[in-house]
Structure 1
């Protein structure tokens, strides 16, 4: 449906890339939270594993987010070079 609404392929790809950035952060945090909660219940360690895996999930989410943004920036720079455009020009 989105493909029918937005005709420009570059805009669709940008929207998809932006949504992946958000999903990376949220999903990694949620997975870390679930693993920590499950381990705490199984081992009876209180909130410590939950907090540890929550922090690890957040860190992993930010790492994935940074990698995805760098990939988007690299693709954008290559596109500008391909078309002979320069960001410094007004």
Structure 2
């Protein structure tokens, strides 16, 4: 692997993490804004939505970063999509 592809891979990971956090925050804000608009409670649900969205985004970023760290250390990536194995560990 040359130095250029390592840089591109790092940039790709950073971009993905930034998008995860931004989208989760915007979705939370949008849902909060919609609830405020329907219920006439401005800005309470917007503030709550931003907080919850940012928290969810930060948790997603943390999980993704952990997965990349495990892969980087030579470990096996956890499969979180397997409903039979709630621990996320593979056989």
TM-score of the aligned structures, taking structure 1 as reference length = 0.71
Structure 1 gap segments, 5+ residues each: 1-5, 80-90
Residue deviations 1:39-66 (CA, integer Å, cap 9, x gap):
1001111211111111100100100110
Structure 2 gap segments, 5+ residues each: 76-91
Q: 1:68 aligns with which of 64, 67, 71?
A: 64
CA distance in 2, matches of 1:19, 1:68: 12
TM-score of the aligned structures, taking structure 2 as reference length = 0.70
Which structure carries more relative contact order (alpha carbon 8 Å, separation 6+)?
Answer: 1
Equivalent residues, number? 74
Deviating runs (4+, > 2 A) in structure 1? 6-15
Give the helix-richer structure, 1 or 2: 1
